[in-house]
Structure 1
Amino acid sequence: MEFKGYLLSLRLQRENLPEGYPFNIPCLQTFQELAFHPNVTFFTGENGIGKSTFIEAIAVNLGFNAEGGSKNFHFSSRETHSILHQYLTISKSFRHFKDGFFLRGESFYNVASQIDKLDEEPGFSQKIIASYGGISLHEQSHGESFWSLFMNRFNGHGVYILDEPESALSANKQIAMLAKINSLVHTNAQFIITTHSPILLAYPNAIIYEMADGEINSIKYEESEVYRLYKSFLDNPKRILDNLFTSNT
């Protein structure tokens, strides 16, 4: 049977929306509904456009901890997430995902600390860190800990929500990440990813939503702002730098 994903679509309940943040974010003021790709759905756009707020709300709506981790993580260093998740309706298929993880770079340190804390408690024969490569994530560099999580913790047959995972990864690791994503997709994994990386966005046949100009629109890879900007720069970095430095003198 063809895999059609666990999450099918997302709708914002626009009736009786509260005023103020996050509903005053321009992209949310016009948003109504979107469809998820059964394999990979991307959200891209400028800083401050609302990507992280949006993907956080999706994760919390599905039962993940707002600061990241699996559904079994129930810690909070500070309550900062919005109430947007309360106004989202996610349409799901008949399939139930067996695994899942919400990765957000800004609070990944807290996830690593929680793993160490739980492993220090008595009564567990199997250490949690064994599922993350066996070495404390605090004993690795930021990039190494991200990579260890991605390579060891994600098992397929799950939903993986990643907020700018490229933030700690080199270009080589981002390319390798594409191969791992593809491998997991073939084990019925579904990804929802926010990214500024033109490397990750290149994953074939994904849905790309660009958040810009107060709208959330489905676009082609070559139409994305991040692709056009990187391509323009790499095609002729000297010309762009000359223009940039001249305008600042």
Structure 2
Amino acid sequence: MYLKEIIKLNEKIKHQNQYPFNISTIKALDTLHLTKNVTFFVGENGSGKSTLLEAIAYQCEFNTAGGSRNNAYELDSSEAKLGDYIRLSWMPKMNRGFFLRAESFYHFASHIDELAKEDPGIYHAYGGKSLHEQSHGESFLSLFKNRFGQSGIYLLDEPEAALSPARQLAFLSIIHELQKHAQLIIATHSPILMGYPNAEIFNFDEFPIKQIKYEDTSHYQISRRFLENRKKILRELID
């Protein structure tokens, strides 16, 4: 592990009622202690998990539009408003890694194509060809398999967005290999991904943020209930 603690600098915040400080989980945040190589942030949309993940990427000096420290391109929606108001505690300090934003992955792929005009060899780190020439799911797995090979910290915001259930299972194998020499923090809605054994799961639907067991997550419970009682639930929803 590299990142041990995420500390919110409350003394620097002058307008507590403004976004993103008015998000309930962010408002209640003081210090978040990380103890595992694989950590999941889970919760409803708008609960603050992506906001905090982006702030961590900002402090790591990764491009908050998606990428590493070496990927210099701009995206209007990539400003990390929380980034200046947290401090990261490391042991040891790590500045290698990658920040994946599923929502802006198209722009990252276009950025790689621009770099490849000068150096076609850059595609070697992305499966040997343009990410735009692969399906969405293939391009994600190419990134995970080829670009994520070295030690570092990997911040992934909803990586399941492009992955079928079968490819999510394949990604679990990639997570297992990566965590042997890297740290992963993953914001996800996927009950498949968050089922990775011995991972730390933080529930952003609690104020303050608390650890939660896999079987206690709403994602697991709702998915299980639907799969076991599909006809009954559909009748309740539709009839």
TM-score (norm 1): 0.91
Q: Which runs of 5+ in 1 are unaligned?
A: none
Equivalent-residue separation in structure 2 for 1:206 and 1:238 (angstroms) = 33
Task: Please state if 1:149 is matched with 2:165.
Answer: no
1:79: how far off? 5.0
Per-residue Cα deviation, 1:120-176 (whole angstroms, up to 9, x for no partner): 12xx4x621111111100111111111111111111311110000001001011011
Distance 2:26 2:94 in 1: 28
Aligned to 1:204: 197
- 1-structure distance, mates of 2:109, 2:219: 30
Residue 131, structure 1, aligned to residue 131, structure 2 = no
1-side partners of 2:80 and 2:92: how far apart? 29
Match of 2:7 in 1: 11
Superposition deviation, residue 213 in structure 1: 4.6
Find the partner of 1:58 among 32, 56, 59. Answer: 56
Following TM superposition, the consecutive aligned residue runs of length 4 or more in structure 1 with deviations greater than 6 angstroms are none
Equivalent residue, structure 2, for 1:195: 188
Which residue in the other structure is 1:216 paired with? Answer: 209
Letter in 2 for 1:12: K
- 1:31 CA drift (Å): 0.9
* Distance in structure 2 (CA, Å) of the matches to 1:26 and 1:164: 21
1:238 aligns with 2:234: no
In structure 1, C-alpha distance between the alignment counterparts of 2:101 and 2:199, rounded to whole Å: 21
2:110 is the counterpart of 1:105: no
Does the 8 Å CA contact 1:22/1:82 hold for their aligned counterparts? no
Change over 3 Å in CA distance of 1:85–1:95 after alignment to 2: closer
Distance change (3 Å), C-alpha of 1:218 and 1:197: same
- What secondary structure sits across from 2:10 in the alignment? coil
User: What SS does the corresponding residue of 1:152 show, helix, strand or coil?
Assistant: helix
Corresponding letter in the other structure for 1:107: S
Is the partner of 1:59 in helix, strand or coil? Answer: helix
Alignment check: 8 A CA contact 1:69 1:111 kept? yes
What is the RMSD of the two structures over their aligned residues, measured on CA atoms?
A: 1.4
1:180 CA drift (Å)? 1.0
1:178 touches 1:200 (CA, 8 Å); kept in 2? yes
Q: How many residues align?
A: 237
> Quick check: 1:44 aligned with 2:42?
yes
Unaligned runs of 5+ in 2: none
Q: SS at the partner of 2:22? A: coil
Give 2:143's aligned amino acid: L
Q: Tell me if 1:94 matches 2:104.
A: no
Give the Cα separation in 2 of the matches to 1:131 and 1:234: 39
Separation in 1 of the partners of 2:144 and 2:109?
13
- Structure 2: which amino acid aligns with 1:6? Y
Rounded to whole Å, the distance in 2 between the matches of 1:80 and 1:96 is 22
User: Shift of the alpha carbon at 1:24?
Assistant: 0.8
Residue 225 (structure 1) aligned to one of 218, 227, 238: 218
Q: In structure 2, do the counterparts of structure 1 residues 96 and 59 end up closer, same or farther at CA, with 3 Å as the change threshold?
A: closer
Provide the rounded CA distance (Å) in 2 between the counterparts of 1:16 and 1:154. Answer: 34
Partner SS, residue 190 of structure 1: strand
Task: Report deviation, 1:95.
Answer: 5.6
Q: TM-score, normalised by structure 2?
A: 0.95
Q: Distance in 1 between matches of 2:4 and 2:11?
A: 22
1:162 matched residue in structure 2: 156
